[in-house]
Structure 1
């Protein structure tokens, strides 16, 4: 069985359902099969940046009940690039050496990082600078990490968006309205197109395919001519205006984020067609809650496979789901290109075949 290893695990970037299931699987495999020690690193790389590092010992008894728990018991962050870390005085500072020192203070043999493409890029750079042994597990509700067919969190987000469409269906019909559902999707429209097809949307708008408000209204008028007095529209937050402008919201702290495309469309659809419109923005509801069975399954398979990569000393790799099985690929290859919705792919063809307006 070899040397007793001491491995760290962290969750980085936005939270999602299924992270705890992955942590649980890592501990079960590492402790139960190999007899290793697992250290949970709190608040992603911020935990390593602290002195002493902010960590917790993870045994099977501590993770046993985590399979169905949402979020991450380790905490996470999507702020503060360690290579240009914001300081209290407004300056930025390279904190990479602090993080590298934290790794070695913990006497770790390897780290399992659970994150999206941005987190993976940062973790890989840290590993290269510090001589770490790194294995990656992909998670993102956007499902846009390259190469893998599934990322932890995506299926739960789709289920949540689909349920929202199911509920909006009845109130839309009751009031003869156009209901617009705005869902997450920073760069890619995977949530919108998957939930849109599953939830019976009449219009699906994703950033990969351009659209016109005139053609959206034409679709709505077509339904009215068929005696259908309501319509459902689902739109990814990353969809731009017809002029190609990004729609975003800036809060009082000056922080800017995507959001508002639903309201933009509602006003223009009302002007174009006269239809009464209502907008629902799901937001972080898509990240929270109990993970779906598929997300639990994927998380469990990824966690076990990641530990096995460490046992094989196959580092700088990420586990992926391909052709109904888990395989590993170099992290560099996995994050080289994000995975957008293929405009010529099966889901787009399916939506068009169902008569859904998907752009021009």
Structure 2
């Protein structure tokens, strides 16, 4: 068999660990030649396609490094028009691909599922996202590292907050899912956590900040980029035409700062963590999880189980149909145990 491997969407700690595990597992079984597709689906859309061989030595020593040795793209859309899709089909035939291992988030899984339906390209998916929002998967690699990074950012901000008696707003990534804001906010001891799943009431936040002005003289607010005030619209940073995810969120922390400042004595400052959350070496947890995912993807390849995505459910590695993942997002239930816990220990979620 000839197996292609690509990384799609935003970069993420642990991608190289998956590439390493997939490649070494397939080589170990002695059944496959492995090639890397460069820059995500963009490499498969190009004429000629951009590829490189992946061998044992080529993927050694990359377990602990962030980013992806293959490069990636979060704007390449192989289904954007008929001509592009035909080019992808032609490249897949010329490369002799029997199977394509696609490492990415929900958008990447949707594209892979579409390619399998449209041109018959056999695909195996590996879930990757710092947002932890892939359906039917309780934990994706990259999330643990992002939570650790965001938590450290919040803790560093806190030292400035209590020194200057400020309200400090820290914005995390996560798009329409609040997992990153929820777990990093909980881990850092944030006073207010605002999630995309729970529209916030400005009056409730003002009330909590004023209470802390009287009692502890500073407040830490952790807000997910997809959060919004009741009755308001999402804060959109930019639109990228032709991208699988054309609406890029960001900047809600600054919007909230402007809304809060007139009502408080404390100075209000906003920090957007941005791509800092994507970078750096993966945590040990993510290295191990990514390795387990990559190994199971190789097992699915050898078994010929195309159209499946590796998953983690109830602590066990398995797989689900890619059709059950495509175009679906896993968001935080408003009655999730972490939300309930947070309410009981005095965290404000912006509810009236």
Please report the TM-score for the alignment, with normalisation by the length of structure 2: 0.94
Identify which of 201, 208, 218 aligns with 2:207.
218
Identify which of 85, 95, 117 aligns with 1:106.
95
Q: Corresponding residue for 1:283?
A: 274
Q: Corresponding residue for 1:90?
A: none
Aligned partners of 1:241 and 1:261 also within 8 Å = no
Q: Corresponding residue for 1:84?
A: 80
Q: Corresponding residue for 2:24?
A: 28
Q: CA deviation at 1:41?
A: 0.5
Moved over 6 A (4+): none
SS in 2 for 1:280: strand
Q: Does 1:17 align with 2:13?
A: yes
Q: CA deviation at 1:232?
A: 0.4
Q: Does 1:47 align with 2:48?
A: no
How many residues are treated as equivalent by the alignment? 347
Q: CA deviation at 1:198?
A: 0.3
Distance across 2 between alignment mates of 1:129 and 1:250 = 30
Q: Corresponding residue for 1:248?
A: 236
Q: Does 1:310 align with 2:301?
A: yes
Aligned partners of 2:202 and 2:229 also within 8 Å = no
Distance across 2 between alignment mates of 1:184 and 1:316 = 29
Deviations 1:153-198 (A, max 9, x none): 1111111110001111111111111111011111111100000000
Structure 2 alignment gaps of length 5 or more:
none
Q: Corresponding residue for 2:158?
A: 169
RMSD: 1.7
Q: CA deviation at 1:318?
A: 0.3
Q: CA deviation at 1:347?
A: 1.1
SS in 1 for 2:349: coil
Q: How does 1:186-201 map to 2 (within 5 A)?
A: 186-201=175-190
190-199 or 262-271, which deviates more:
262-271
Q: Corresponding residue for 1:262?
A: 253
Distance across 2 between alignment mates of 1:250 and 1:36 = 42
Q: Does 1:146 align with 2:135?
A: yes
Aligned partners of 2:308 and 2:322 also within 8 Å = yes
Q: Corresponding residue for 1:205?
A: 194
Distance across 2 between alignment mates of 1:188 and 1:19 = 21
Identify which of 218, 224, 229 aligns with 2:217.
229
SS in 2 for 1:180: strand
SS in 1 for 2:6: strand
Q: CA deviation at 1:344?
A: 0.5
Q: Give the 3 Å change call, closer, same or farther, for CA 359–241 of structure 1 in structure 2.
A: closer
Aligned partners of 1:146 and 1:336 also within 8 Å = no
Aligned partners of 1:269 and 1:275 also within 8 Å = no
Q: Does 1:341 align with 2:338?
A: no
Aligned partners of 1:214 and 1:272 also within 8 Å = no
Q: CA deviation at 1:204?
A: 0.3
Q: Does 1:136 align with 2:125?
A: yes
Q: Does 1:68 align with 2:56?
A: no
Please report the TM-score for the alignment, with normalisation by the length of structure 1: 0.92
Distance across 2 between alignment mates of 1:35 and 1:125 = 27
Q: CA deviation at 1:35?
A: 4.4
Identify which of 308, 323, 326 aligns with 1:332.
323
SS in 2 for 1:168: helix
Distance across 2 between alignment mates of 1:41 and 1:319 = 20
Structure 1 alignment gaps of length 5 or more:
86-92
Q: Corresponding residue for 2:107?
A: 118
Distance across 1 between alignment mates of 2:332 and 2:15 = 24
Q: Give the 3 Å change call, closer, same or farther, for CA 240–170 of structure 1 in structure 2.
A: same
